[in-house]
Structure 1
């Protein structure tokens, strides 16, 4: 029997590369697509020798052509950290609008099922806690985070429109904070930022008073939830994340313990519209997908720390690679 064929956009990114690995392991023919604006070929170079993997260096905001049959499309192309989308706000909006439009158009032609990567950021700075899928959110569309939040909200809206109007098979995963190997060390997100500072002997920077909360899900658990959602028959959004909530201040102390460093925690002003609370309500995932996270934070952090600790020293001190300049338009 011929292998199922799946297109994964954002394939060279943190989550995209782990999804490539999973579907290769499940014996799919994987077509990775990435413009490498934030992704890195290092994340997927181990796949290039495989006959059931191919890579397209392409921007999904432009017309997409994939030859042959296509069974599934996973749209994971998007800047995902504040450092990225504040530097390239237009590109962030384009990949969440033109990019998803192109993916949905391709799905319609190929009769493929589409799963889109939405985010807990659609809830904004929430007034409901924990966040359920029925909560509509508290988002400032013109604030500094609006380019990302509203791109994802539009992405959900157009996906549902294609589902209801064109009958396209669609799935929407709302991803909460996820971590693991292949995260970019200096991309501005709290976990790699803390570990990077610890490894460099710097004080750990907490924005705000440390009372804001996050809930961290290990990447393997997230990927399992995504696979189960893809193969489900549920078209409405589903939260995938770990509901084990912790304050940022407590999390900084965990990182100090994990890394055995002696630095102190310093506090800086909280960025505008930064969410004060973030915790997924995952009853739907449990009921519909028989999914819940299996890897606790202590184990996941050990694995992630080992990855960062073994990076070449130049990566520890090097500023983030990017190809932003040619995409500013």
Structure 2
């Protein structure tokens, strides 16, 4: 029993009621840890963590990371920030504050506790890239004053803060650049392409494609992404990142739409609308560093991952219909 408690960590996950955060918490609890989930529920949902409230090793705090948080933990995963364009453009000033003030507050907590902290960064730091696929050495092509800038530049500034705390205070940091991820618990109305297409197909609506549909994305299943995140946190202190975590298999948006309509057996047609400003034309991770350093590669193929995700949205619709 003593050894069990010696190996158990108390871990803070900010944004823990969100899509990625809730899956991360499930994994950390399965590994035997205690978890403190902090979330202001702006985009997160209690539905994602309802199944955890009877777990004695789980604690929920309704908290906005723009304000300091005083808890005692052994590790911090900082995932708090709206991640879809619809949500982060709803209040762009608050989005920037969440990335920047949130990073400062969580780094301050980690500094006080002398604990490791992981920043959930994003492939959006590469903007609309000139280099393809994107390596961690690429500095990106980002519009600093466009409608997506609150998220892109907020995350870039958060990375800056993490590395400055590392250099100035010798803080143990991990920076992970997350590429497009999908799976159960995605918000059905978050505006991201996988959830959009699935919900439209299930409802028999037209699938809306922005642009010609020839822009590309790489889609990583959530379980693979979480495995990469935990591996990065558990890696040696010398490994700070940034490290790309995503699936390097590239698909056009039109191919994704056709795959989803086939999986759903939908007769929905495709409708093409103008491409939003600063929407990247290509997005594909170079994961050589993750493969070499973390021995990590994604395992789930898109077709199988979509089946799991579609089943989740089918039950989601069923629950809504019962209300």
Q: What is the TM-score with the length of structure 2 in the denominator?
A: 0.96
CA RMSD in angstroms, aligned pairs only: 1.3
Measured in 2, the distance between the counterparts of 1:86 and 1:102 equals: 23
Measured in 1, the distance between the counterparts of 2:281 and 2:271 equals: 18
User: Which residue in 2 is equivalent to 1:141?
Assistant: 144
Q: 2:215 aligns with which of 209, 212, 217?
A: 212
2:89 is paired with a residue whose SS is helix
TM-superposed deviation, 1:313: 4.2
TM-superposed deviation, 1:83: 0.4
Measured in 2, the distance between the counterparts of 1:31 and 1:175 equals: 22
Q: 2:26 aligns with which of 11, 21, 34?
A: 21
The list of structure 1 runs, each at least 4 consecutive aligned residues, that deviate by more than 6 angstroms after superposition, is: none
Alignment partner of 1:190 is 2:193 = yes
User: Which residue in 2 is equivalent to 1:325?
Assistant: none
Q: 1:293 aligns with which of 287, 290, 298?
A: 298
Measured in 2, the distance between the counterparts of 1:223 and 1:51 equals: 22
1:196 is paired with a residue whose SS is helix
Measured in 2, the distance between the counterparts of 1:314 and 1:22 equals: 25
| Structure 2: segments with no counterpart, 5+ residues | none
Alignment of structure 1 residues 164-313 onto 2, 5 Å: 164-233=167-236, 234-313=239-318
Q: 1:92 aligns with which of 92, 95, 103?
A: 95
1:98-123 alpha-carbon deviations (Å, 9 max, x no partner):
10100000001111100000000000
User: Which residue in 1 is equivalent to 2:129?
Assistant: 126
TM-superposed deviation, 1:312: 3.5
Measured in 1, the distance between the counterparts of 2:199 and 2:79 equals: 25
| Structure 1: segments with no counterpart, 5+ residues | 319-329
TM-superposed deviation, 1:45: 1.1
Alignment partner of 1:114 is 2:117 = yes
User: Which residue in 2 is equivalent to 1:156?
Assistant: 159
Number of matched pairs = 316
Measured in 2, the distance between the counterparts of 1:205 and 1:307 equals: 21
Measured in 2, the distance between the counterparts of 1:312 and 1:142 equals: 38
Instruction: Classify 1:141/1:219 alpha carbon distance in 2 versus 1 (closer, same or farther; 3 Å).
Output: same
Measured in 2, the distance between the counterparts of 1:105 and 1:215 equals: 34
User: Which residue in 1 is equivalent to 2:55?
Assistant: 50
1:263-283 alpha-carbon deviations (Å, 9 max, x no partner):
110100000000000000000
TM-superposed deviation, 1:314: 6.6
1:172 is paired with a residue whose SS is strand
Measured in 1, the distance between the counterparts of 2:219 and 2:241 equals: 23
